[in-house]
Structure 1
Amino acid sequence: MTTVNHPSLQEVTHGDARSDARTVPPFAVVPGEQVKSVLEGREKAVVDVVEATYRLHGAGRTVNPPSSFLRFPDRPSSRIIALPASLGGRARVDGLKWISSFPENVSSAIPRASAVLILNDHETGYPFACMESSIISAARTAASAASAADWLSRGRQRPARLGFVGAGLIARYIHSYLAGTGWSFDEIGVHDVSAASAAGFRLYLEQSGATGRVTMHRGAEELVRSSDLVVFATVAARPHISDPSWFRHNPVVLHVSLRDLEPQVLLSATNVVDDIDHCLRAATSPHLTEQLTGSRAFLHGTLDDVMAGRVTVPADRPAVFSPFGLGILDLAVGRYVYDEVVESGELQVIDNFFHELRRYG
C-alpha cells in the first residue's frame, strides 16, 4: 500500500477531454480514521451534501434500487443489507453500501453496526475505493435528520425541548449534527430500555458541552409529552407506541428507526419521508399504515417536496419524518470524504489491485 498525492477522479478516468481513451483507476482504501477526520466539525457541509442529493433524487438524476436484506434463520435479530445506488450531478459515482446489524454485539461491548462502502467509477465501472462506512452511514443519517428538523420546524415555534427515545450511536450523531448546525435546547430528555445506554448517552451530552438541562425519563410517554422535537433511534423490530394523544402538543418527530409508531399515530400526523416507494416496504410503520388503510393518502410527500415548497407542513399537527435511508446519501457523503482525502494527499492506494488488464495476457 502506498500513500500518494493522488489526482482527482475526473483526471484519472477522463484524462485529456479530447480523448475517448479509458483507463483503470487506482484502487484505494479509506479507513475509518480518515473518514472521521474529514467529517469531524463539518456538519453543515455534510447537511448541504445530503440536501443537494435529495434534490438530485427528486429531479430523477439518481438510481436507487430497493435494498436487499440478507437474513439468517439461526440469528433472526441480525441482518446484512446491500444498498446499491448511482448518483448523477457533478460528482457522478456509482456504488454499494454493505452494512450489517448484529444487535447482540452490544452485549460484547462492540458496535451493533459495521459497514463498508464501495465507490465505482461512473465511466469504466471499476471500483476505485473501499471505505469504512459505519461512520459515513451514521453521518448521513444524522445529516438527514438535522435537515428534516430544520425544514419541518419552519412555520412553527422552533423546538426548545429535545427528546431521544433510544440512546445509541445514531442518537449521539444526531445530537452532534443538530448542535453543529446551530441548534440549542433548554432541555434534552433521554429514555432507553437499557439503563447503561441511557447513562452513557448522558455522559456524552455532559462531556460534549450540550446546552440545556439533561433529564432522564423512565418511559417513552413521559419523554414524548415533554419534548418539542422527538428523535426515535431504537432497534425496535415492530411498533410499540400506539397512543396519538402523546403527540397532542404537535411536536416534530424524527422517526429515524422507522418501526416505533403504530399506524394510528401516523394517521394523526403530517407524514414526510425520503422516498415513498422505499419507505413503504420491509414492515416499516408507514408500510404497516398503507397495509391497514389500503392507501398512501396519509403520506404528504418527501423532504425534497418540503424543501421545494410543493408541500407545506402545518403547525397544528404532529410532523413525522420517516426516512428509509437511501444508498445515494452514502454515495454522496462517501464521495465527499474521498475527494477531501485526495485533496489532502493522503490517499492510500493498493498497488496493482487490478492485475489482469490485458484481454489476451
Structure 2
Amino acid sequence: MLILSNADVRHVLDGEEEAVLAAVRLAYVEHERGATAVPESLFLRFPDNTRDRIIALPAYLGGAEPVAGMKWIASFPGNVAAGVERASAVVVLNSPDTGRPLCLLEGSVISARRTAASAALASATMPGPGPVTGVTVVGCGVINTEVLRFLRAVHPSLREVAVFDLNADRAAAFAGRCAVDLGLAATVVTDLDTALAAHQLVSIATTATTPHMDLSAVRPGTLVLHVSLRDVTVDGVLAATNVVDDRDHVCRAATSVHLAEQTVGHRDFIQSTIGELLAAGATHPRSGERVTLFSPFGLGVLDMAVANLVFHSARARGLGVDLPEFLPERVPAAG
C-alpha cells in the first residue's frame, strides 16, 4: 500500500498540465464508449447545515489500463474565513483484479486539477472564432486558479483576466497571484455584469448553493464554464446551448441543469456531452448567436485517471510511504 501526501502529488503533477489534460480526455472518451462504471455520487450532509457536505465518488475506468477506486471529498466553505482550504480529499485506488487497495493519495490537488483540466478541455473543444486572449473568472478560490493554469496550457494566446469576487480583498489577492504566478494581466471588476461582458470566455467557480445569475449580461458567442454548477438561473440555462459531462449525473443534487429539467419536465435542452464531442473528433465551434454553457458535474473517472497517473509516476520515482504490511498477510491456498 503506497501512501502519497499532498507534497508527493504536487511533485508529480506540477508542470504536467499536458499529461493531466490527456488523462482527462481519455477518461471522457472511455466514458462515452461505455467502458466505465460511475455510480451516483453519495452526499453526506449534516442536520441543520445546508452548506457543508462530504461526497463519495466511486468509479471504474476501463481501457488499456483499468483502475477502480473512490474519491472522498469534503466541502466546508466556512473554512476559508479560518484560513483553511474549503475542500479536502483523499483518493483510494483499488486493483480491478483483486479489489485490494493499491494507493491512498491526498486528493485535493487531484480534484482541483482534474476539474480545471475538464474546463480547459471544453474550451479547446468548443472554440470561438479567434484566439483566446482574455477570460473572466467569477470566484477567486483554488479552482479558478487551477482553471487559469490549464487555460494557459490550451490557449497560449491568453493574456488578460477580469476578476470578480464578492470579497474585495480576495479578488485583489487573486489578481496579484495571476500576475506573479501565471504572468497574466488581471483587472479586478467590482460589478458582476461588467465582468461577465468583459470576455467571451467565463469561468464560474463559487460556493453558491442557489442560482443567482441569468447570464443576460454575457455576450452571445461566449463560452461559460459553469464549474460550480449552481450559479445560473433556470432561464439562463434554457436560453443557452448546453453541454454537460453526463446527463444523468448533472441532473441531480439541485444543480442549475437539474432545476431546469424539473421546470420543463425534460432534458431536451442539453445538446451534447463533452464525451460525445471528443469521440467525434476535431473541434466543434460554438454558436456565435447564443451563450454556450458547459456544466460538468465532475465524474469520478476523472479522479481515477489523474490519480492513476500520479500513482505510477510516484512509484517509479520512489515517492511516498510504502506500507507492505498494511493489508492482512496472504492466506495460504487451500489444499
TM over 0.5: yes
Local SS of the residue matching 2:136? strand
Deviation at 1:116, TM superposition (A): 0.2
Change (3 A) 1:234 1:73: same
Q: One-letter code of the match for 2:55?
A: I
Deviation at 1:272, TM superposition (A): 0.3
Q: TM-score, normalised by structure 1?
A: 0.88
Local SS of the residue matching 1:336? helix
Q: One-letter code of the match for 2:8?
A: Q
Local SS of the residue matching 1:230? strand
Change (3 A) 1:165 1:178: same
Aligned partner of 2:47 among 70, 73, 84: 73
Q: One-letter code of the match for 2:45?
A: R
Local SS of the residue matching 1:307? helix
Deviations along 1:33-67, one digit per CA (max 9) or x if unpaired, are: 11001111110111011001100000000000000
Deviation at 1:189, TM superposition (A): 0.3
The number of equivalent residue pairs is: 332
Pair 1:191-2:172 in alignment: no
In structure 2, distance between residues paired with 1:29 and 1:94 = 16
Local SS of the residue matching 2:97? coil
Q: One-letter code of the match for 1:232?
A: I
Report what 1:166 is aligned to: 139
Report what 1:314 is aligned to: 287
Please provide the CA RMSD for this pair: 1.8
Report what 2:6 is aligned to: 32
Aligned partner of 2:116 among 126, 142, 166: 142
Checking the alignment, whether the CA contact within 8 Å between 1:91 and 1:335 is kept in structure 2 is: no
In structure 1, distance between residues paired with 2:61 and 2:74 = 23
Q: One-letter code of the match for 2:194?
A: E
Q: Which of these two proteins has the greater Rg computed from alpha carbons?
A: 1
Deviation at 1:123, TM superposition (A): 0.5
Change (3 A) 1:359 1:195: farther
Alignment of 1:202-221 (within 5 A): 202-211=175-184, 213-221=185-193
Deviation at 1:248, TM superposition (A): 3.5
Local SS of the residue matching 2:34? coil
Report what 2:22 is aligned to: 48
In structure 2, distance between residues paired with 1:255 and 1:293 = 20
Report what 1:95 is aligned to: 69
Q: TM-score, normalised by structure 2?
A: 0.95
Checking the alignment, whether the CA contact within 8 Å between 1:160 and 1:186 is kept in structure 2 is: yes
Deviation at 1:269, TM superposition (A): 1.3
Local SS of the residue matching 2:252? coil
Q: One-letter code of the match for 1:240?
A: H
Local SS of the residue matching 1:153? coil
Pair 1:278-2:249 in alignment: yes
Report what 2:234 is aligned to: 263
Report what 2:262 is aligned to: 291
Local SS of the residue matching 1:124? coil
Deviation at 1:180, TM superposition (A): 2.7
Q: Kindly, what percent of the aligned residue pairs are identical?
A: 40
In structure 2, distance between residues paired with 1:255 and 1:249 = 16
Deviations along 1:148-185, one digit per CA (max 9) or x if unpaired, are: 0111115x233322100001000100111111334333
Aligned partner of 2:90 among 111, 116, 130: 116
Q: One-letter code of the match for 1:89?
A: G
Checking the alignment, whether the CA contact within 8 Å between 1:225 and 1:249 is kept in structure 2 is: no
Aligned partner of 2:302 among 317, 329, 337: 329
In structure 2, distance between residues paired with 1:182 and 1:251 = 16
Change (3 A) 1:346 1:186: closer
